[in-house]
Amino acid sequence: MDHASGSWFLMADRVRRECMTKSHASPSFDRLDKHPSHQINTPLAFPQVLKMRKPMPHTATVKISNQTLMCGLKILCMTCLWMTVPISTLVASDAEEKDGLVSFSQNNTETFGGEWLPDGHLIKVTGSPAKLCIGQQSWRDFILEVEVKANPDSQAGVIFRASQVGRQIDQYSGYYVGVHAGRDSVMWGAANNRWQPIAQRAVPVTPGTWYTIKLIVFQQQFKVWINQTLITTKRFPIFNGVDNRFKEGVIGLRSLGSGASFRNLRIHEYHPQTKSSTYTNPVQINCADPTVLQHQGLYYAYCTYSKDHPNMTRGIRLYTSSNLVQWHDQGFIIKAEQSWGRSKFWAPDIVQKNGKFYLYYATDTRICVAQADSPSGPFQERSESPILPETVRIDAHVFQDDEKAYFYYVRFNRGNEIWGGELNDDMVSLKQDTLRLMIKPDQEWERHQGAIAEGPVILKHDDIYYLTYSGSHFESPQYAVGYATSDSPLGPWKKYQHNPIMKSTAYAKGTAHHCFTDSPDGTEKFIIYHRHHNLQQTEPRKMAIDRVQFVTQPKGPAILEINGPTGSPQPLASGATLE
């Protein structure tokens, strides 16, 4: 293993920020992540010569793979210093700060495989597997940003909280976050001489394109952003979860495949501000397939009562809350003795029209409708028989658009398909000549333990309709959420190419079958979904909530983005207060 070392003094972050132009202000973090003394700034050229605390060498020798490389150091600005020796840790020490100057240190670097070559303002690596550990410092809580560029069918990323690093592909004990170019994949996992995936997401990753990886690591909480552009508070993390396998360790770069490039590495210690108004998922046990109505300052969650699994013989359960977090059990809103069916009370949906509330639910794999004057009931069935035709089976959803109401449901056809059509004005019967297939489970992520597309929910944004749904069997750890778009509420639909947009992780399984609602003040949108009871068993399922948003694209429909599934403390919904 080869080493490179040196030391110098640079200006403090505070001085650096003062030199930056207003148009290049540093990215800010969301409410939980703000810490003014540890925000990261994008390196920029400075218009003035920085004062050095002691003379600096004009060259630095970096010895890698038994080759000695001379890297000229321009001392006119800190940007040049960062760019010239990209393997520098660039860490501001809290211990030493005098006259606005902070000690930075380029500690020993150690390589494990590959050929690491500085090339101007970046460092390239060829050969695989390849790791480069930065310094001897053991990091626990930190913010890290680095730009990575992977060659075709190659990975580029960061290992952290790592120890016992070796030359073999997974020979280290610690975490890894990286992108896989050409595979459109971002992964987060752990290794202890064997790869253990934690979370993975389908994200566009173009070979030869620079991407910024940003990590915020605090105790057992992890947030990961991956983006081509500046990461701001408007973008959700790709991953927002928890894991407690490794407490601290070194930080390094890692490449698999034909090679990668790295530049602009920045690391800061992280000390978050304390926030009292937070929640942690899950928020309610025994509630599966939730649908939530927001009405006069209260949230009403109608659920499959998963405590009664597998037969669900007692009815549909109701919970209420003022803040989406603290829920109160109101008992069965629909009881078996009041219903056409006698078991399998599943997947309710509720809408309001003309002062009446219509509750749709499955029972004995058919769909019934009950009506009430209040969202808390009492509900009475509108008909002594379920909705016709008989192919209308489970997972009802009603979407009201202008003067029309549309009805979506699951039909059984060697699996589960999503169908839709128009409701008549009575909100009970269907215009059967309008019924048509919406989508079927024809993608790999929709076919775990069965070919299943179910749980339809419609959103409308900028005149585009979003058919969101769940794919695969609900008992599968691969149960996930995806969507399709159309300019008509009844299609034709085009599935999002990077589905699923929320899937199970190593800390939350079976995360799907959902609905949407707004925060109390209407400024945020939330997805409410269920997850498995724990990592080993499905029942009784639990309800969870996370933020969603639409991200405008240069071309085509906005992307529907979910900040989930989360397992770490999250800010309370905007406008909500704890009881």
- How crowded is the C-beta side of 378, counted as CA atoms within 13 Å? 4
The CA distance from 384 to 372, in Å, is 16
More confident residue, 391 or 48: 391
pLDDT of 113-168, one tens digit each?
999 998 888 999 999 999 999 988 899 999 999 999 999 999 999 999 999 999 99
The pair of three-digit structure tokens given for residue 173, joined into one six-digit string: 């004990």
Least confident of 83-92, 183-192, 544-553: 83-92
Asked whether residue 48 carries a pLDDT value surpassing 70, the answer given is no
Residue 420: which of 431, 433, 406 has the closest Cα? Answer: 406
Fold type of domain 278-571 = Tachylectin-2; Chain A (2.115.10)
Q: How buried is residue 295: exposed, middle or buried, by Cβ count under 10 Å (0-12/13-18/19+)?
A: middle
Question: What H or E segment, with its residue span, contains residue 87?
Answer: none
More confident residue, 552 or 48: 552
The CA distance from 322 to 312, in Å, is 27
Q: What is the share, in percent, of the chain residues with pLDDT greater than 70? A: 80
Instruction: Supply the pLDDT for residue 467.
Output: 98
Beta bridge partners of 559: 551
Instruction: Give the Cβ contact number of residue 342 at 10 Å.
Output: 12
The CA distance from 9 to 95, in Å, is 13
The pair of three-digit structure tokens given for residue 235, joined into one six-digit string: 């973008």
Look at the chain and count its residues.
579
Question: What H or E segment, with its residue span, contains residue 16?
Answer: helix 13-19
Q: Which stretches within 200-354 are classed as H helix?
A: none
Instruction: Supply the pLDDT for residue 364.
Output: 97
pLDDT of 305-325, one tens digit each?
999 999 999 999 999 999 999
**Using an 8 Å Cβ cutoff, are 406 and 372 in contact?**
no
Confidence of residue 231 (pLDDT cuts 50, 70, 90): low
pTM for this model (two decimals): 0.82
The CA-based angle 480-484-489, given to 5 degrees, is 130
Q: How buried is residue 337: exposed, middle or buried, by Cβ count under 10 Å (0-12/13-18/19+)?
A: exposed
Question: Do the domains at 6-269 and 278-571 have one common CATH topology?
Answer: no
**Using an 8 Å Cβ cutoff, are 473 and 440 in contact?**
no
What's the one-letter identity of residue 494?
K
The CA distance from 397 to 98, in Å, is 64
CA 182 to chain centroid, in Å, comes to 21
Longest dimension (CA), the chain: 90
CATH of domain 6-269: 2.60.120.560
Question: What H or E segment, with its residue span, contains residue 241?
Answer: strand 239-242
What's the one-letter identity of residue 104?
F
Domain boundaries, the chain: 6-269, 278-571
pLDDT of 555-574, one tens digit each?
999 999 999 999 999 999 99
